[in-house]
A and B are shown apart, each in its own frame.
Chain A
């Protein structure tokens, strides 16, 4: 069976993992349906699929986090029962979770030790763990300071600690669940180098992702999941991005949105010297200036946590700015004073917040209630002091139709819609009010490929209708394919501006804080300051 792969002898290298007929249901949701999977020893095996396709559930079953309803698991050819993570660890399976399973106020060493301390007293274990950790760090070139506190480490290093945790427990099979979601492109490349090195040392790696590019870059084999089923397994070398995308979605998809030339008009949104602090008093946005014109999309790229959230919150009136001026459609907005989201809405600024669960929607409300939230005082929705329910529901039904929101039922509780459809509810609400300026944060976070295509098209339609669009996203591909101009934020400042033709490497360097020396007219006066962050 392995004859297609040169260098692997089926007798010498049995499958590291074999899954046969795995089924798992959560209530009415059939998350995994008759899954078969075989992962060869010493390879990097990608599992790709849309959100909710059942990838994480499958891996959680393998790690003993859940138990399958039926099916068989074989590790190294032997049938095994994995009831708890302990069983998985004993079989040499380690997992790096999408949300890191680290205790943030513990040191690296304490996190690595946790669950594998050795004796009842810590004293002996600490010395042993330190020695072992140093050995692992040397062997795999995974340097981390063992006494550093987790919350003070950048995410890339936190992830390294997760990998070390697995190796410390003697993992031979390493599962990584969406490992690059929080990384900059250079950090992701570094991770891939580590993974290749682990592979050379004979480890087997299972990489779960929804990013096609990563699959092509690093895996040997790839399995595609769709709606709880395993639809195909391919050798990476023999497949293409287009084929995988089609397998994932079940139909042909446009990976890159088609858009015409932008024709920017008057300045609709101008931001000058904006400074924003967070609740702890840390400066998150530091003297930022830019403008957005009618009929253009300005994208703000950057690794999460570099001030993008605070920037759009300040512009949208949710967070008070420390300093600076914002001009909306020629009229000043008091962002340091009384500006609030309701007032800005009436002045033509619509805001799709980054976190739809936290800020965009009330999940316990019916769809039609969410569809008017923030605009609920508009004449067309009220009848004296009462809500005009008939009008609200008619309006909601129209938006459902127009935005292809499924299921098409405006009386359904919002929590029962999928992530993509929830996002469409927010987009429909904000876009249909015909705003002059549209601020969109993370429009496709947790949204499946099919809906991404739709959302991207709608954003471009808004641009073509002459709206000024400010887009913030941590997905570099999204920024590159939608934006007419790209601003990169690093440590609260605009690290540089590029056109849509900028390469990923170029943007990646800016995102990592490597100083922009080629063209930075606005930051010229600051160039005398030593750029300490950049040196890291």
Chain B
């Protein structure tokens, strides 16, 4: 296999691996831009992955799976909203609680319903999974050097959710910077007092933001269990929600940056998988554990020093209480 081909295959798996991060990081963006920190992306994603796979298995439809994934994720997002907006609770505590609830209930319900050790039944390709879409002419031009290869391997042949994730990036940018909702959302994360005195309900606005977060986390979860994999496995998010948070900070809460940050993390993951156990000739074998740890090490390094100061939305993490 040529170097170019290898490289394109790595990029192809980069795309696949970065999609859940992209959905989750964009999800976090809505919430955090509105001033609600959400450490519970991981939990929402996991619950959505379970709900999606379970519904897809029962109803035999990937779309119904996606619907349930989104609904369950919105439900958990509203719990987070209820705790942190209505009751002005600690947003970190609420988020951590959601992560624990999701980790526990998915396995318990999975075992109770399907009796496969917490898994959901494997999804077959006949409609109960999102399968790869072959773009037109992919087969025809695959022989053309470089362009054909890029088109057929990298651009074509992904599930609908992959294309949706890439569409969600400009869409989020447009919502944030070109709509009234976006203007208010950004304002409420910076100075909720300004929003309140302008006659806009801080509570309702923040609830809408966490609902957006719920929807996108639902997509992230559904992608994991109904598109990338064929069913739910215990703890299948494996920290992706936290990596997405890291990507969000790395991207300084900007949608297009989020896309690139997620692609970078996905790329590191793809490289780690590709070169697991590679041998450096004449020296030693790189332990696969090191390659697996690489993305996390880089996360720490990047967040610690490389990005400069990431200034979060000013009112982030602070429950809004009217001043006396």
Using CB atoms and an 8 Å cutoff, list the residues of chain A in contact with chain B.
26, 57, 63, 65-66, 84-86, 88-89, 95, 97, 99, 101-106, 110-111, 113-123, 125, 165
Contacts and interface: CB of A to CB of B under 8 A. Distances in A.
Contacts of B322: 65-66
Contacts of B197: 63, 65, 85, 95, 97, 101
B179 A121 contact: yes
Interface in B160-208: 178-184, 186-187, 190-191, 193-201
Contacts of A57: 324
Nearest to A280: B309
Contacts of B190: 103-106
Nearest to B311: A105
Contacts of B186: 103, 106
A133 to B, nearest CB: 15
Contacts of A114: 183-184, 187, 194-195, 198, 200
Interface of B: 178-184, 186-187, 190-191, 193-201, 314, 322-324
A136 B200 CA distance: 23
A99 B190 CA distance: 14
6 pairs of A and B residues whose beta carbons are closest in the complex? A115-B198, A86-B199, A101-B194, A85-B199, A117-B180, A101-B197
6 contacts: A65-B322, A97-B193, A104-B314, A105-B190, A115-B195, A119-B180
A315 to B, nearest CB: 28
B199 A106 contact: no
A121 B195 CA distance: 18
A62 to B, nearest CB: 13
A115 B200 contact: yes
A120 B179 CA distance: 6
Contact of A102 (B179, B180, B191): B191
Contacts of A105: 190
B21 to A, nearest CB: 26
A86 to B, nearest CB: 3
A125 B187 CA distance: 17
A83 to B, nearest CB: 11
Contacts of A66: 322
A456 B246 CA distance: 52
Contacts of A125: 180
Given A105-B190, A121-B178, A84 B324 contact: no
Contacts of B194: 101-103, 111, 114
A104 B191 contact: yes
Q: Is the interface of A mostly helix, strand, loop or mixed?
A: loop
B200 to A, nearest CB: 5
Q: Is the interface of B mostly helix, strand, loop or mixed?
A: helix
Contacts of A88: 199
Contact of B199 (A89, A97, A102, A122): A89
B199 A115 contact: yes
A121 B180 contact: yes
B168 to A, nearest CB: 19
A66 B321 CA distance: 12
A110 B193 contact: no
A165 B199 CA distance: 12
A165 B195 CA distance: 12
A101 B198 CA distance: 9
Nearest to B309: A280
A83 B184 CA distance: 21
A84 B200 CA distance: 9
Contacts of B187: 103, 106, 110, 114
A122 B183 CA distance: 8
A122 B323 contact: no
A95 B198 CA distance: 10
Contacts of A26: 324
Given A26-B324, A65-B196, 9 more contacts: A63-B197, A85-B199, A101-B194, A103-B186, A103-B194, A104-B314, A106-B187, A122-B180, A122-B182
A120 B324 contact: no
A104 B186 CA distance: 11
Contact of B183 (A84, A104, A113): A113
Nearest to A88: B199
Nearest to B323: A99
Nearest to B201: A84
Nearest to B194: A101
Given A114-B187, A117-B183, A99 B193 contact: yes
B199 A120 contact: no
A292 to B, nearest CB: 37
A122 B179 contact: yes
A105 B177 CA distance: 13
A125 B180 CA distance: 9
A165 B194 CA distance: 11
Nearest to B190: A103
Contacts of B193: 97, 99, 101
A119 B200 CA distance: 15
B195 to A, nearest CB: 7
A120 to B, nearest CB: 5
Contacts of A65: 196-197, 322
B191 A103 contact: yes
A85 B198 contact: yes
A165 to B, nearest CB: 8
Contacts of B198: 85, 101, 114-116, 165
A120 B178 contact: no
Which of B179, B180, B195, B322: most chain A CB closer than 10 A?
B180
Contacts of A89: 199
